[in-house]
Amino acid sequence: MEMQTVKFYQTGTFTVGNRLLAEDERSVQANMHRTNSLNSGHRACQGCGEALGARYAIDAAMRSTSGELIAVNATGCLEVFSTPYPETSWKIPWIHSLFGNAAAVASGVAAAMRVRGRSAVRVVAQGGDGGTTDIGFGCLSGMFERNDDVLYICYDNEAYMNTGVQRSSATPPAARTATTPALGREPGNVFGTGKNVPLIAMAHSIPYVATASVANLRDLERKVAKAMTISGARYVHIHVPCPLGWGSLPADTIKVARLAVESGLFPLFEAEHGEITGRTPIRRKVPVTDYLRLQKRFAHLFNVADEPRIARIQAIADRNIAKFGLLETPAHG
Amino acid sequence: MDKPFAITLDVGSSLANKTGSWRTSRPVYVDRLPPCNHACPAGENIQSWLYHAEAGDYEAAWRVLTLDNPLPAIMGRVCYHPCETACNRGKLDESVGINSVERFLGDEALKLAWRFEPPVRDSGKRVLVVGAGPSGLAAAYHLRLLGHAVTIIEAGPLAGGMMRFGIPKYRLPRDVLDAEIQRILDLGIELQLNRKVSNILDTMHSGAFDAAFLAVGAHIAKRAYIPAGSTARMLDAISVLRGMEGEDKPLLGRRVVVYGGGNTALDVARTAKRLGASDAIIVYRRTREKMPAHDFEVEEALQEGVLIKWLSTIRNMADEGTLTVEKMRLDDQGFPQPTGEFETLETDSLVLALGQDVDLSLLDDVPDLVIEHGVVQVASNMMTGHAGIFAGGDMVPSERTVTVAVGHGKKAARHIDAWLRGGRYAPPPAHKLAAFESLNAWYYADAPKTTQPVLDLARRASTFDEVVRGLDESTALFEARRCLSCGNCFECDNCYGVCPDNAVIKLGPGKRFEFNYDYCKGCGICVAECPCGAIEMIPETI
Amino acid sequence: MLKQIEGSRAVAEAIARCRPEVICAYPITPQTHIVEGLGEMVKSGELANCEFINVESEFAALSVAIGASAAGARAYTATASQGLLFMAEAVYNAAGLGLPIVMTIGNRAIGAPINIWNDHSDSMSMRDAGWIQLYAATNQEALDLHIQAFRLAEELSCPVMVCMDGFILTHAYERVDVPAQDDVDAFLPSFEPRQVLDPAEPVSMGAMVGPEAFTEVRYLAHHKQLRALELIPKLSAAFQARFGRSSGSLVKPYRTEDAETIVVALGSVNGTIQEVVDEMRDAGVKIGSLAICSFRPFPLEQVRDALRHAKRVVVIEKCLAVGLGGIVSDGVRNALSGIVLRGYTVIAGLGGRAITRAALRQLFRDAGNDVLEQLTFLDLDEGLIQYELEREAQARRSGPTAEAILRRVGTVASQVA
Ligand SMILES: Cc1ncc(C[n+]2csc(CCOP(=O)(O)OP(=O)(O)O)c2C)c(N)n1
Ligand code: SF4
Ligand SMILES: [Mg+2]
């Protein structure tokens, strides 16, 4: 009888854990003794994707470095909800300096570790999309170009959330924000040219760039772990839904993130030294409307059945799918 | 460290901030009833034994399975597995091959000679079981485990009932049957063969039994009036199948016609083929869609060369073996109606497979019984109108399958036990059904069903070797792991992982999880992302 | 060791002897030679165990220093003018976090109009950022102050700016005594951070603080400066004890004993002032001067003590508080609260305008005669102003002022790109 490769529902697949796998093959988040780097008691909104993404990423980095990790945080929701005096949710050495300088501060920490002979201690910088793609972009690019030994993680919730949901350069077309209201003939954000920071990071030829999503924990952890095996500048861009800013249900945070991936709007890929080396294929392709409909920030597209602009968004997804080959199955399973 | 005031903080201090107070509704863990369990006539806890099988702990799986059903190797062969029809995985790709895993476990148990644990304490009560078919054996097993002394009285020469005299060997090898029966008897159950109970009250009285469970089965073949010549060879299916168990196999000839559309008709036709018939023809009044026999059996029979004449009734049989067959048509209600078109069919013998009746003579003198349509009426606790006499299997109103019979045996045993203690058995409250909609199917990887290897046709035509073979370990494991664990936590760690507030406490292997309501903000992500629908959101009360 | 070197080089050598571990460099005149010198020393291996990082902006320069310092490394950077403004946010932040970074400011004017020459507008703009600000009067003092600055910064956990006049000091070749490494090592112990990012003892630095504690945090920042008032003279004395020369301290009175007129100033202009004081003293004028070395913390008491017996005070300022007058004067006035004397503010040396002895002599004479305006612009070309004001009054679209003036003055400066 022909044998099938044993690929069953609980193993090597999509759930957080798997009681059938050896302990060290399970995800970091499945571990009873995971760091919980970002601890309970933080003040993120219910269902905050950024809080989740941050714990996923930092716990993974903590495992990879055996706890020898220092984090630098840009101003933003993550910083504000985690460290309001007199309480901090962080369990790791952590510093917040400014909105736009996380990458540079991290470079400084890394330099200090190097010069003080503590190269085993690794450095993570993290910020929101605003702190990364906009105001912190100069420092980020500088850190990349110098190839400083820093992993920069961007938690992309597609707007300036901490200040009340204003548009950033990562805000998608048509999305309603406080500064791109759903008013007038072209409600919501403009259809600009976009600013794909992962691709810009690749243009720096840094050793490692990856996109990840809170909807795919194992993929995310693998990428962070991979990043931690590499020295030099690394960039991981994580898609983290924000129920408050997107007008989605708190319970739907992961679902929304998943649909972003499955529609092709948020492609998952990785690159080394400027070349794409991997993509996570779409498992069950969905139309962008499945994703858009769950979010009030896109409600105006449906209130008036704005087919042309929905089609333009679909075209963006289709372009991503073609560009990154998201429907091809990977060479090895 | 000399920390500057306010700007530099001690790590982890946010634990002082109990964000649980933000919550308006709270998640709670629930167990829901998996549709397979729900559909199992024997009340097997399928999801639960698959859970152990998934981990490769087959003995644990077998032990959980046999809490409800002592005959897994048999069941894995003859059960029509309504569980698989109900299985939620069917909505994803194909239902889990529950039956084949059950068989694997049953076979594994026989191979490794796993035994049942005998009861630790005897109750001092004596229970009589009449009939050693599936229902009687199951009842005896459960009653014994509950500590009662059990005696089975069986009219036939061997235990097994319809499992032996109604199901051909190629579907149920006798060594399997014998071994599973013996394992039950090994619990210390007395079996008296070749003894027919003619008066139940006398037998109970003389044996000082406190209660009785009757499961005598339905062994009297139903007849249809077919005018026939005196030398026409007309037999009934039950005698043919029973004859297969004896020394002298029935003589059916080279051309055999079987009349009927149930599984028994198919069994006889296939048996005839194996006995050397060149033609085995089933004559059935209606169409394939209307046929009560299971589709897979029809398929296997057709593969083996059995012919089926649809929409046909037999009008008479002449001496030399010429059958007159009338073509039928289905009316608007789907009932067959004569067309007046006739044809003839040559045959050496005609086997009637039109169903069976129950021999109720042992109840003749029992007062307060209700008998309707030839079967004994029982209350919801399986007790007949006469206190202390319970009944089950084919002799009570229900579907007549081995699995249903086994289920009756278990159910009756629980009620008899309660009755003997002067109480009533109250089954635990049923959980809400784990509907497909309550699952988050995203988390299950695609994994189509494994098919069981099938004996090649050449051998099937001539031997009584088992047609459907078992799974080997790896395929059984694969199959077990396809289970979605509907409605029951399988410790996938999703809730533990996806909580943005680390408000899920992982208790360790086998211990599942707990919510930490001090920090749970009630976002509901855990509920949405639980693959098997084992978490529910309930409003917070203040 | 005595060396005849450029001021920037002198500072670089002093910094190198302080064993910095992370140096962030970004070019801007007139500070550039300092980091160039350090870069050379790191590259050649002369300055070992030091990361020299070429960053992409001053904002990054100080941010990298912040990270390095928080992670326990002795961090240094230098900037001037536009660069200081570009890093402004980080300047406040470093102080707020209490990170003992030392930064040299090669004092330079701020545009527009863009101007590369010296005045104090840049460092004055950051006077309330929470840093300690020390102003060097000479290249030797600039060199010495950097050595004291590290110790001061690290003892207090507070960043220190050493301000030295652009070109006048940074580009001047003078003889300086460069101390021996052993002596610096003895004076400046290795960096023991008050708080540090370390996985062995994790803390969260840079928390968000609300109204419930913000005032206290700010008060503590102020308190730190008050402690600096005590520490600075002590360190200066300790420095003198080891190196045999007096450098730094809070204020430096010069011939103020019986002075009726006292001139107050910051930085290199004190040299010229003292020369004029000497001349006038020789002519029998009771005049003295007071160099303020520590502008933040502002030594109210010491200034008061030095000035209280004078009849008048002339404050020479290299920075204009537009719409008000002088910034240093404000502090002086504050120090003299309750004491009645005449006070004059003189705005001088803006954008590199030379402050000549002649001009000062005239100025002090006028002051002595109390014929000075309260606010005086030294060497202001009244005619030019008159002309420009009239021109502007004539037409709404009168064009840019700076260019118009340059055209009229026909100065070589117009050829500076
Ligand atoms: C220099 C500066 N400009 C503006 C702000 C105000 N600000 C603080 S957080 C924030 C938004 C952060 O957005 P993003 O980086 O996307 O993170 P998010 O809050 O969305 O996670 C803004 C605009 C600031 N703190 N500093
Ligand atoms: S606003 Fe959005 S990103 Fe910020 S805490 Fe709330 S959910 Fe998270
Ligand atoms: Mg954002």
Question: What would the pLDDT profile of C201-214 be if each residue is shown by its tens digit?
Answer: 999 999 999 999 99
- Whether the CB-CB separation of C266 and C251 falls below 8 Å is answered with no
Cα of A28 to nearest chain C Cα, Å: 19
Q: Is the per-residue pLDDT at B387 higher than 50?
A: yes
Binding-face residues of C in 192-221 toward B, CB within 8 A: 194-196, 201-207, 209, 213, 216-217, 220
Q: Which pLDDT belongs to residue B475?
A: 81
Question: C-contacting residues of B 9-28, CB under 8 Å?
Answer: 9-11
Residues 6 or more apart in contact with residue C146 via CB below 8 angstroms: C11, C14, C15, C18, C102, C104, C162
Least confident segment among A120-124, A277-281, B152-156, B330-334: B330-334
B touches which chains (3+ CB pairs under 8 A)? A, C
Calculate how far, in angstroms, residue A196's C-alpha sits from the geometric centre of ligand 3. 15
pLDDT band at residue A3 under the 50/70/90 scheme: very low
C-alpha angle A187-A189-A191 in degrees, rounded to nearest 5: 105
Q: Which amino acid is at B151?
A: T
Of A7-11, B458-462, B509-513, minimum mean pLDDT range:
A7-11
By Cβ distance, the residue of B3, B5, B11 closest to C217 is B5
Pick A112's closest partner by Cβ from C56, C63, C71.
Answer: C71
Cis peptide before B476 (omega within 30 of 0): no
Task: Count Cβ atoms within 10 A of the Cβ of residue A161 and give its class: 0-12 exposed, 13-18 middle, 19 or more buried.
Answer: buried
Percentage of chain C lying above the pLDDT 90 cut:
94
Expressed in angstroms and rounded, the spacing between residue A165 Cα and the centre of ligand 3 is 8
- A83 neighbors B17 (Cβ within 8 angstroms): no
pLDDT at B445: 79
Of all residues in chain B, the one with the smallest CA distance to C194 is: B2
Q: What is the pLDDT of residues C396-409, one digit of tens each?
A: 787 777 777 777 77
**Pick among B23, B496, B523, B530 to test the A interface (most A CBs inside 10 A):** B523
CB–CB of C164/C11 below 8 Å? yes
Estimate the crossing angle of helix B134-145 against helix B174-185, to 10 degrees: 30
SS3 C344: strand
- Residue C243 pLDDT greater than 70, yes or no: yes
- Partner-chain residue, chosen from C195, C209, C217, that has the shortest CB–CB distance to B1: C195
Evaluate if residue A216 carries a pLDDT over 60. Answer: yes
Cβ separation C70–A105 shorter than 8 A: yes
Report whether residue A256 contacts ligand 2, using a CB cutoff of 6 Å. no
Give residue B455's pLDDT band: very low, low, confident or very high (50, 70, 90): low
* Model confidence band, residue A330 (pLDDT cutoffs 50, 70, 90): low
Q: pLDDT category, C345, cuts 50, 70, 90?
A: very high
Check pLDDT > 80 for residue A1: no
Give me ligand 2 centre to Cα A173, in Å: 20
Chain A CB within 8 Å of residue C93 CB:
yes
Are B9 and A15 in contact (CB < 8 Å)? no
In angstroms, the separation between the Cα of residue B428 and the nearest Cα of chain A is: 29
Over 50: is that where the pLDDT of A8 sits? no
Pocket lining: A253 vs ligand 2, CB cutoff 6 Å = no
Q: Which of A297-306, B90-99, C235-244, C393-402 has the lowest mean pLDDT?
A: C393-402
Is B378 a residue whose pLDDT tops 90? yes
Q: How far apart are CA A323 and CA A267, in angstroms?
A: 10
At residue B449, the pLDDT reads 66
pLDDT in tens, C266-304: 999 999 999 999 999 999 999 999 999 999 999 999 999
Kindly report the three-state secondary structure assignment for every residue of chain A: CCCCCCCCCCCCCCCCCCCCCCHHHCCHHHCCCCCCCECCCCCCCCCCHHHHHHHHHHHHHHHHCCCCEEEEECCCHHHHHHCECCCCCECCCEEECCCCCHHHHHHHHHHHHHHCCCCCCEEEEEEEHHHHHHCCHHHHHHHHHHCCCEEEEEEECCCECCCCCECCCCCCCCCCECCECCCCCCCCCCCCCCCCHHHHHHHCCCCEEEEEECCCHHHHHHHHHHHHHCCCCEEEEEECCCHHHHCCCHHHHHHHHHHHHHHCCCCCEEEECCEEEEECCCCCCCCHHHHHCCCHHHHHHHHCCCHHHHHHHHHHHHHHHHHHCCCCCCCCC
Phi, psi of B510 (to 5 degrees): 80, -10
- Residue C414: pLDDT over 80: no
Residue that the structure tokens 């102050």 belong to: C145
Q: Are C136 and C170 in contact (CB under 8 A)?
A: no
- Considering CB atoms only, which of B478, B497, B524 is closest to A217? B497
Beta-ladder partners of C52: C23
Span A221-231, average pLDDT: 97
Q: Which tens digit of pLDDT belongs to each residue from A29-88? A: 999 999 999 999 999 999 999 999 999 999 999 999 999 999 999 999 999 999 999 999
In angstroms, rounded to a whole number, what is the distance separating the alpha carbons of residues B289 and B309? 13
A116: which chain C residues are within 8 Å (Cβ-Cβ)? 21, 71-73
What integer is the mean pLDDT of C357-384?
Answer: 96
Binning pLDDT at 50, 70 and 90, where does residue A6 land?
very low
* pLDDT computed for residue B196 by the predictor: 94
The ligand 1 atom nearest the CA atom of A170: 16
Residues within 5 Å of ion ligand 3 by Cβ?
A 128-129, 157, 161
B502 touches chain A (CB under 8 A): yes
For A37, name the nearest residue in chain B, comparing CA atoms only: B12
Taking an 8 Å cut-off on Cβ atoms, the answer to whether A47 and B523 are in contact is: yes
**Is ligand 2 within 6 A of the CB of residue A245?**
yes
Provide the 3-class DSSP secondary structure of residue B330. strand
Q: How far apart are CA A243 and CA A250, in angstroms?
A: 5
C381 touches chain B (CB under 8 A): no
Q: Determine the pLDDT at residue A36.
A: 97
Residue with tokens 């609260």: C337
pTM above 0.95, yes or no: no
Residue C195 has its nearest CB partner, among B3, B6, B11, at B3
What is the pLDDT confidence band of residue C417, given thresholds at 50, 70 and 90? very low
Predicted confidence band of residue A331 (pLDDT cuts 50, 70, 90): very low
pLDDT of residue B99: 94
**Residue C416: pLDDT over 90:** no
The kind and range of the H/E element at C176 are strand C173-177
Contact B500 A48 (CB under 8 A): yes
Q: What is the DSSP string of B491-529?
A: ---HHHHH-TT--EEE--TTT-EEE-TTT-----HHHHH
Structure tokens at B53: 């099988």
B304 and B328 Cβ atoms separated by less than 8 Å: no
Atom of ligand 2 nearest to the CA of A43: 5
**What's the CA gap between C299 and C229, in Å, rounded?**
7
On whether the A8-324 domain is CATH 3.40.50.970, my answer is yes
Q: How far apart are CA C183 and CA C158, in angstroms?
A: 24
Residue A77: CB within 6 Å of ligand 2? yes
Taking residues C379-390, report their average pLDDT.
94
Residue B256: φ, ψ to 5°: -125, 135
Helix (H) or strand (E) holding C105: strand C102-107
pLDDT number for residue B479: 87
* Interface check A3 vs B, CB under 8 A: yes
Q: Is the CB of A168 under 6 A from ligand 1?
A: yes
* Residue B517 sits at the chain A interface (C-beta within 8 Å): no
Each residue's pLDDT tens digit, B339-363: 999 999 999 999 999 999 999 999 9
Query: Is the CB of B502 less than 8 angstroms away from the CB of A48?
Result: no
User: Do the Cβ atoms of B12 and A9 come within 8 Å?
Assistant: no
Contact (Cβ atoms closer than 8 angstroms) between residue B355 and residue B347: no
Give me the domains of chain C, ranges plus CATH numbers.
2-243 (3.40.50.970), 251-377 (3.40.50.920), 390-417 (no CATH)
Gyration radius of chain A's alpha carbons: 19
A14 part of contact set with chain B, CB < 8 Å: yes
pLDDT of residue B451: 65
pLDDT tens sequence across B174-210: 999 999 999 999 999 999 999 999 999 999 999 999 9
Query: Which of B1, B2, B6 shows the shortest C-beta gap to C207?
Result: B6
At A11, is the pLDDT very low, low, confident or very high (cuts 50, 70, 90)? very low
Q: Does C192 touch chain A (CB under 8 A)?
A: no
Distance, CA of C238 to CA of C148 (rounded, Å): 9
Contact with chain A for residue C57, Cβ under 8 A: yes
Mean pLDDT of the region C329-351: 96
User: Whose CA is closest to A143, among A79, A100, A113?
Assistant: A100
List all residues 6 or more positions away from A232 whose beta carbon is below 8 Å from its beta carbon.
A147, A148, A149, A206, A207, A208
**Dist CA A233 CA A146 (whole Å):** 8
Bridge partner residues of B308 (DSSP): B282
Chain-chain contact of A251 with B12 (C-beta, under 8 angstroms): no
What's the pLDDT at B448? 66
- Residue B202 DSSP symbol: H
Residue C406 has a pLDDT of 76
Q: Which of B2, B5, B8 sits opposite C204 (nearest CB)?
A: B8
CB atoms within 10 A of CB B110: 16
Q: Please report which confidence band the pLDDT of residue B375 belongs to, taking 50, 70 and 90 as the band edges.
A: very high
> b/e string for B62-86 if b means 16 or more Cβ within 10 A?
bbbbbbbbbbbbbbbbbbbbbbbeb
Highest mean pLDDT pick, B12-16, B333-337, C316-320: C316-320
Length of chain A: 333
pLDDT tens figures, C127-143: 999 999 999 999 999 99
Whole-number percent of chain B with pLDDT over 70: 97
Beta carbon of A44 within 6 Å of any ligand 2 atom: yes
pLDDT for residue B399 is more than 50? yes
φ and ψ at B65, to 5 degrees?
A: -60, -50
Residues of chain B with pLDDT > 90, as a percent, come to 75
- The Å distance, Cα C348 to ligand 1 centre, comes to 41
A158 Cα nearest atom in ligand 1? 16
Higher pLDDT, B521 or C412: B521
* pLDDT for position A5: 36
Q: Looking at the CA of A50, name the nearest ligand.
A: 2
CB contact under 8 A, A16 and B55: no
Which one-letter amino acid corresponds to residue C14?
A
Confidence of residue B430 (pLDDT cuts 50, 70, 90): confident
Q: If you average pLDDT over residues C56-68, what whole number do you get? A: 98
Size of interface A-C (CB pairs under 8 A): 165
Instruction: Quick: pLDDT tens for B526-539.
Output: 999 999 999 999 99
**What sign results for the dihedral spanned by CA atoms B194, B200, B202, B204?**
positive
Do B55 and A22 contact (CB within 8 A), yes or no? Answer: no
User: Mean pLDDT over residues B155-165, rounded?
Assistant: 94
- The size of the A-B interface in CB pairs under 8 A is 177
Would you call A107 and C72 a contact, using CB atoms and an 8 Å cutoff? no
C102 CA from centroid of ligand 1 (Å): 28
CB C117 within 8 A of CB C108: yes
With 0-12 / 13-18 / 19 or more C-beta atoms within 10 angstroms meaning exposed / middle / buried, residue C220 is: middle
Can you tell me the mean pLDDT for B26-47? 96
